[in-house]
Amino acid sequence: MTRLFGTDGVRGVAGRDLTAALALELSIAAARVLPGAHFVGERPRAVVGRDPRASGEFLEAAVVAGLASAGVDVVRLGVLPTPAVAYLTAEMDADFGVMLSASHNPAPDNGIKFFGRGGHKLPDAVEDDIAAALKDPAEGAVGPGVGRVTDAADSAERYIRHVVGTVPHGLDGLRVVVDCAKGAASAVSPEALRRAGADVVTLHDDPDGLNINHECGSTHLDDLRAAVVGHGADAGIAHDGDADRCLAVAADGSVVDGDQIMGILALELHEAGRLAKDTLVITVMSNLGLKLAMREAGITVVETPVGDRYVLEAMREGGYSLGGEQSGHVVITNHATTGDGLLTALHLLSAMSRRGLALDELAKVMTRLPQVLINVRGVDKARAKSSAALAEAVSAAEAELGETGRVLIRPSGTEPMVRVMVEAAAEAHAHEVAERLAGVVREDLEIS
């Protein structure tokens, strides 16, 4: 049976899959599960934030209505990055937080994700409890038990002060272009970078509710690369729609991905004696070159399945301080409970400033093996793990690549596709193997 919750909350096309009715019922169920037994004789409190998608307006109204009707006091945070909502859940001592966003997905999509007390993502078991509570209707609050709704006028300011306050070395003298993806970072990211000392050029900072992520941000870097070169900037920063990601562009227009950013930050923390247990947590999608570089630097690597929630779980269980994904989700637990694109950008730029080195020089911390990723759409991703033909093709490819490469076939957790990833010593070889495997996926998993 398919879980209601995916790898990053409940997602779908807003108004079709993710309706106002579902949002209301889901928030009522969450109100019954998340506060636990902590509230005897008092109302629990939740914070609710959203990215600027047009559908976020009606979904926010439904979530707030559901929570208040279930006896939860609600503080509306407005349009903010996902990590800001996580931070403010803890900073405002809320019992849980709700974020409405579909991250890097296009504008018609939206999602609902929950943070528990302290701003932490929920474990699978708690999400399953919320899903189960949907099937067990309960009476709403009445009289003085009804939740009250207020707006936080200073939510963005509190978050900006927090992230800027973590910067170990000012950004004075750096010119930075920031691509806000027409999303939740549009107001806070440029302001935070300026306060940290950078000369900031903004790009795609004009959200209208319908243009979020459209040909911009961390999944479309061409505009940022051109702007960095055109403005003679030292670096470019790209967020996604809810700003939990950060990718970067060096002065020459070359892309610095999440693996390279993690490598740079790992060395910074390692040298400062603040990399807990001298360990970096990554996913199976990270480039083999990162693992080799960390081994050479004396840093242990812990590997998890794809998804920042799994990185976070491993970090919490092991007491580690740095982890993330190649896509730009980077978690610095000394300062955040989840991936934070703005925090990551500030610390990356701080490393540049402190060392006095260009970003492309810092990125040489690792040598990336050629890696090819093909997203195969329109196939039955649920059958990917049980396909004998695909398993046989993968085994043959792995034998062919030997120790100089690897293969990863992964159904997407948030989109209807199967991802085929191949690493090899030569890029042409990686392309050849990836195309071959993608062909097997299309043929064997075709939806009839």
Confidence of residue 148 (pLDDT cuts 50, 70, 90): very high
Q: Where are the beta strands (DSSP E) in 357-425?
A: 371-377, 406-411, 417-423
Q: What is the DSSP secondary-structure string of 166-212?
A: T-SS--TT-EEEEE-TTTTTTTHHHHHHHHTT-EEEEES----SS-T
Higher pLDDT residue, 27 or 444?
27
- Give the helix ranges, DSSP H, for 321-380: 341-355, 359-362
**CATH architecture designation of domain 371-444:** 2-Layer Sandwich (3.30)
Confidence of residue 268 (pLDDT cuts 50, 70, 90): very high
Report d(CA 375, CA 66) in Å as an integer. Answer: 37
Q: Percent of the chain, pLDDT > 90? A: 82
How much is the pLDDT for 378?
A: 85
Give pLDDT tens digits for 320-378: 999 999 999 999 999 999 999 999 999 999 999 999 999 999 999 998 889 899 999 98
Show binding-site residues for Mg(2+): 103, 240, 242, 244
Q: Which residues of the chain are in CATH 3.40.120.10 domains? A: 10-153, 172-365
Above 50 in pLDDT, residue 37? no
Burial environment of residue 366 by CB neighbours within 10 A (0 to 12, 13 to 18, 19 or more): buried
How much is the pLDDT for 425?
A: 86
CATH number, span 10-153: 3.40.120.10
Which residues are designated catalytic?
103
Confidence of residue 137 (pLDDT cuts 50, 70, 90): confident
Residue type, 310: Y
Q: Which stretch of 21-30, 111-120, 369-378 has the lowest confidence by average pLDDT?
A: 369-378
Query: pTM for the complete prediction?
Result: 0.89
How much is the pLDDT for 445?
A: 86
| Four-way CATH pick for 172-365: 3.40.640.10, 3.40.120.10, 1.10.1060.10, 3.40.309.10 | 3.40.120.10
Report d(CA 203, CA 197) in Å as an integer. Answer: 18
Distance, first Cα to last Cα, the chain: 20
Q: Which residues of the chain are in CATH 3.30.310.50 domains? A: 371-444
Tokens of 307: 């998804």
Report d(CA 315, CA 302) in Å as an integer. Answer: 9
Report d(CA 199, CA 346) in Å as an integer. Answer: 13
Above 70 in pLDDT, residue 286? yes
Give the chain's mean pLDDT.
Answer: 93
Give pLDDT tens digits for 393-402: 999 999 999 8
Confidence of residue 269 (pLDDT cuts 50, 70, 90): very high
Provide the edge-to-edge strand list for the sheet that holds 371-377: 371-377, 417-423, 406-411
